[in-house]
Amino acid sequence: MIARGFRSIIGHKDVIRHLQTAAASGRVSHAYLISGEPGCGKTMVAEAFAEALLCEQAAVRAKTPEQFDACLSCSSCKKAISDNHPDLIRVIHEKPNVISVGEIRQQVVGTVEIRPYSASRKIYLIPEAEKMNEQAQNALLKTIEEPPEYALILLLSSSPESLLPTIRSRCVELNLHPLPDRDIMEYLTGEMHLPDYEAKMLSSFAQGNLGRAVYAATDETFAERKNKTLGLVRTLHCLDTASIAEAVRLIKEDRAKVDEVLDLLLMWYRDVLLYKATKEIDQLIFSNEIILIQDQAKAASYEELQEILTAIDRCRLRLRANVNFELALELLLECIKENCNA
């Protein structure tokens, strides 16, 4: 996403307001921990905050705190946008799963005493902060405890609970919440020009996470997975044991994404249940599949549909508990077949 500035960010208004008020009043803390699940917008919020603080025009242009935003055209903004601002440091790490003490020393602790080059602040952005090992966190602690007045540290994390309490207690912690479906719908139809029915399906799949929606809208393997899952839903009632085993084998080939298959199944059978209860097409996620939804809603009882929804949750729990993959999936598909005969 090439969104820039607070004004381009969808949702998260409370957190943005908090940061803008701090920036406008000059009462910016030395360390923030921005948390929220992967894809929810942590980086966008942190970058917008950093860029607004570094911008040469933001303070002049803002008549009220909610106007405090990067201008995107001054030389500082241009440098920040091209990832070329000497006072905005993004901490990077070599190994995928760990930020080492050496990396924190070299990129943060060892440079923080050097005054900013051109701005009045020096800002460190640490994505995936939970990947700092204990020594790395301890090395960072001193900087967070007694930072030079110009320093600002922005930690981003999808699992803040794995940070040391000593680090967490010294940060202002801001949690990004899931967005309402309608905000995601609006983005998908407005910015990405998707048709309504597709935007509706994707925003429901996204569960409040814009990054997940954009991924699902643009990733070809997702579209393929969705079509295969709907194909399964269409044909499951007439599959024999061997065909079910084959379907499971195909899901297993792509097992890292099995949660997406389960999410899609859950969305589908919730639709069937919802239609059975209300007979309303407008509310459905898969409204363009209305004929099949009608047939299945007629063929299955409320209890049977509930049984399917429970089985999907059970399958997810079994997979998390490392129950045999084939077994967990076969039990699920057999249960769906048994309870929904259309």
Q: Does 77 bind Zn ion (CB under 5 A)?
A: yes
Q: How many CA atoms lie within 13 A of 239 on its CB side?
A: 22
Question: Which one of residues 24, 31, 34, 55 is an interface residue with Zn ion (CB under 5 A)?
Answer: 55
Min CB(80)–Zn ion separation in Å = 8
Q: What is the DSSP letter of 66?
A: G
Is residue 152 within 8 A of residue 123, CB to CB? The reply is yes
**DSSP letter string over 77-121?**
HHHHHTT--TTEEE---SSTT-B-HHHHIIIIITTTTSPPSSSS-
Min CB(76)–Zn ion separation in Å = 5
- Between 83 and 303, CB nearer to Zn ion: 83
Question: Which one of residues 23, 31, 71, 272 is an interface residue with Zn ion (CB under 5 A)?
Answer: 71
* Rg of the chain over all Cα atoms, to the nearest angstrom: 24
Give the β-pairing of 122-126 and 172-175: unpaired
Is residue 90 within 8 A of residue 153, CB to CB? The reply is no
Min CB(48)–Zn ion separation in Å = 12
Question: Which one of residues 21, 57, 138, 294 is an interface residue with Zn ion (CB under 5 A)?
Answer: 57
- Between 50 and 71, CB nearer to Zn ion: 71
Is residue 70 within 8 A of residue 242, CB to CB? The reply is no
Min CB(129)–Zn ion separation in Å = 27
- Between 57 and 294, CB nearer to Zn ion: 57
The residue range among 54-62, 110-118, 175-183, 195-203 that interacts with Zn ion, by the rule CB under 5 A, is 54-62
> Distance (Å, rounded) from C-alpha 323 to C-alpha 194?
39
The residue range among 71-79, 93-101, 175-183, 297-305 that interacts with Zn ion, by the rule CB under 5 A, is 71-79
Q: Which residues bind Zn ion (CB under 5 A)?
A: 55, 57, 71, 74, 77
